[in-house]
Amino acid sequence: MNDSVTIFSLGGLGEIGKNMYVVRYDDEIVVIDCGRKFADEEHPGVESILPDIRYLLENKELVKGIFITHGHEDHIGALPYVLPRLNVPVFGAPLSIGLARSALQEHGLLRNVKLKEVHDHSTIRFNKISISFFRTNHSIPDSLGVVVHTPEGAVVHTGDFKFDMTPPSGPGVDFGAIAQVSKGKVLALLSDSTNSERVGATPSDSTVGESIHRLFQKAKGRIFFSTFASNVYRLQQVVDAAHITDRKVAVLGFSMDKAFRISEELGHLTIPKGMLIDAKDLRKYRPEQLVILCTGSQGEPRAALARISTASHPSVELLPGDTVILSSAPIPGNTRKVYRTIDRLFRAGAEVVYGPEVDIHTSGHGSQTDQQLMLQLIQPRYFIPIHGEHRMQVAHAQLAEDMGIPPRNIFVLENGETVQLTRKRGRRGEKIPLDLTVVDGSGVENNFGIVLKDRRRLAESGLVLVLLTVDRKKPILRGGPEIITRGFVYVRESEKLIDDMRTIVLETLDSCLERNITSQNRWKAEISQRLDRYLSRKLQRQPLILPIVTHA
């Protein structure tokens, strides 16, 4: 191994979610974040998408630990699926570790994992590299930037950040610590690109608190408030507004309840005594006395708000005069689900408050001014825009170039692409092969790309079954071919098409026998290929074709 620092991502580039970044120097590897991404309509039947960790498993004896920047699902959500296969220590701030511990407990994994709390002044030392941290602002407390110190210089990972000069609670960004990092030789900066297309600075979360107070004072009936469960600052603002307007707070949704409990235990949430009530006691209070905090701001079909919108929640239903406040912006890929939920809420007669014009949400990610300030503070030799869709990375790269970083020192990467950096030279290295890894009903599925392709074909074009009965001893057709379709064509109106497909199957079998091909797997493959070409040309559709051979 040479003296270069190798940097790459196993998730988080060209996408929003499943963040996992790897820094390697010689025989030591550190991993930053371990997130998942919720599946969208492009992934039918999939619950969530995980980083492909085959590289880490192949080099597991070199992996020193996983370092968590903060406690959002797209940064810790893959831990229950990764740690059973890669049992290394996990380092994070108290709230991040608290949320991770709860998730691992749900999966029955706490006994075998090593969770280690760190703070912004902690240093973790290994043989050749060490790790330090600095405090940042995000929409969740205990957010950290991570610094990997190597003999070639420091690699700085910002985590998700913005520069909030008036945070609603807790300390702000530690400018002194960031300045201290920049006094050394910063080899590379990996920086959050989410809002790189937005000019100016991201507004403070304090402005949202003022809007929430106004909305609570205006509302006449019950208030349903939906936001990210881990947006602890927003949860505190809801509690504060409820206290001022003399309302009780009920919490709906497992993740919301968990965030409340852990945040209160760690001192990040202050809740007046007697304010929290159980959802089963809602009928004991008048509508104007209630705030109902619920999950589902991203349109998740099983979340509390979606179930309320479809009148399928077991204990809560919408009433005339209710106000629903959505304090979040749709994650890319979730927009349609969010607006379907909003439509259903309107149909149910609720007053729905949403969108940027009412100042009920501000991003936890820095915009261009924040990103420029981070670049100016860190002064890196090399720059790698991370955490964002490709256009966001490109915009961030242009911003870095405008700030004076030479284009040759800026690397816009895709997942699996590596860069090898030294003080004198930076270059692209070999690409690490990655495949789709998902969680579906049966657990973790690796190499899922082929299965997903088949699912998409089924969803878009349907299924064609070709049933053949073959002699047990000789390659002779005893029955069929019988053509059965599902979700493809209406059979009664497509008799000629079905007959043509039977003819193609028979011609294919005759051709195989003329060429002395007796392998039934070859028969299936050629039948599939020829039918696929025919249907694609005839109907511009490509159903999933499954030849099935039985024996008689």
- What pLDDT is recorded for position 442? 60
What is the average pLDDT across 385-406?
Answer: 97
Nearest to 418 by CA among 405, 409, 427: 427
Between 202 and 442, the higher pLDDT residue:
202
Task: State whether 253 and 276 are in the same domain.
Answer: yes
Task: State whether 513 and 391 are in the same domain.
Answer: no
Between 475 and 146, the higher pLDDT residue:
146
Q: Does residue 257 have an active-site annotation?
A: no
- What pLDDT is recorded for position 478? 87
Assigned domain for 383 exists? yes
Task: State whether 21 and 147 are in the same domain.
Answer: yes
Task: State whether 296 and 407 are in the same domain.
Answer: no
Task: State whether 374 and 305 are in the same domain.
Answer: no
Between 230 and 54, the higher pLDDT residue:
54
**pLDDT tens by residue, 60-113:** 999 999 999 999 999 999 999 999 999 999 999 999 999 999 999 998 999 889
Q: Is the pLDDT of residue 310 over 50?
A: yes
Identify the burial level of 358 via C-beta atoms within 10 angstroms of its C-beta, where 0-12 means exposed, 13-18 middle and 19 or more buried. Answer: middle
- Report how far residue 529's alpha carbon sits from residue 342's, in angstroms, rounded to the nearest whole number: 45
Assigned domain for 294 exists? yes
Between 412 and 348, the higher pLDDT residue:
412
Assigned domain for 378 exists? yes
Assigned domain for 95 exists? yes
What is the average pLDDT across 537-548?
Answer: 88
Task: State whether 435 and 459 are in the same domain.
Answer: no
- What pLDDT is recorded for position 284? 94
Do the bridges between strand 323-326 and strand 223-226 make them parallel or antiparallel, or are there none, so unpaired?
Answer: parallel
- Report how far residue 52's alpha carbon sits from residue 12's, in angstroms, rounded to the nearest whole number: 12
387 belongs to an annotated ligand binding site: yes
Q: Are 300 and 310 in contact (CB under 8 A)?
A: no
- What pLDDT is recorded for position 459? 77
Q: Is the pLDDT of residue 40 over 90?
A: no
Q: Which one of 440, 460, 476 terminates a domain?
A: 440
Instruction: Residue 192: give its domain's CATH number.
Output: 3.60.15.10
132 belongs to an annotated ligand binding site: no
Q: Which of 109-118, 247-256, 349-358, 429-438 has the lowest mean pLDDT?
A: 349-358
Q: Is the pLDDT of residue 34 over 90?
A: yes
Task: State whether 371 and 320 are in the same domain.
Answer: no
Q: Does residue 365 have an active-site annotation?
A: yes
Instruction: Residue 531: give its domain's CATH number.
Output: 3.10.20.580
Task: State whether 167 and 242 are in the same domain.
Answer: no
How many domains does the chain contain in total? 3
Q: Are 448 and 61 in contact (CB under 8 A)?
A: no
Assigned domain for 286 exists? yes
- What pLDDT is recorded for position 1? 47
Mean pLDDT of the chain, nearest integer: 90
- What pLDDT is recorded for position 93? 97
Instruction: Residue 325: give its domain's CATH number.
Output: 3.40.50.10710
- What pLDDT is recorded for position 297? 82
70 belongs to an annotated ligand binding site: yes
CA 275 vs CA 241, 250, 284, 290, 320: distances in Å: 12, 9, 14, 10, 24
Task: State whether 189 and 238 are in the same domain.
Answer: no
What is the average pLDDT across 358-387?
Answer: 93
Sorting pLDDT into bands at 50, 70 and 90, what band is 44? low
Q: Is the pLDDT of residue 29 over 80?
A: yes
- What pLDDT is recorded for position 41? 65
365 belongs to an annotated ligand binding site: yes
- What pLDDT is recorded for position 314? 86
Sorting pLDDT into bands at 50, 70 and 90, what band is 6? very high
196 belongs to an annotated ligand binding site: no
- What pLDDT is recorded for position 179? 86
- What pLDDT is recorded for position 371? 97
Main-chain dihedrals φ then ψ at residue 236, nearest 5 degrees = -65, -40
- Among residues 192, 205, 240, 322, the one annotated as catalytic is 192
45 belongs to an annotated ligand binding site: yes
Assigned domain for 358 exists? no
Task: State whether 168 and 236 are in the same domain.
Answer: no
Assigned domain for 485 exists? yes
Task: State whether 217 and 315 are in the same domain.
Answer: yes
Q: Which of 66-80, 115-129, 304-318, 404-418 has the lowest mean pLDDT?
A: 304-318
- What pLDDT is recorded for position 2? 65
- What pLDDT is recorded for position 348? 87
- Among residues 164, 365, 370, 396, the one annotated as catalytic is 365
Q: What percent of the chain has pLDDT over 70?
A: 95
Task: State whether 109 and 166 are in the same domain.
Answer: yes
- Report how far residue 226's alpha carbon sits from residue 97's, in angstroms, rounded to the nearest whole number: 24
Q: Is the pLDDT of residue 507 over 60?
A: yes
Q: Which one of 406, 440, 474 terminates a domain?
A: 440
Sorting pLDDT into bands at 50, 70 and 90, what band is 172? confident
Assigned domain for 92 exists? yes
Looking at this protein, which amino acid is placed at residue 247? R
- What pLDDT is recorded for position 296? 85
Q: Which one of 393, 410, 440 terminates a domain?
A: 440
Q: Is the pLDDT of residue 473 over 50?
A: yes
What's the domain range around 55?
5-200+363-440
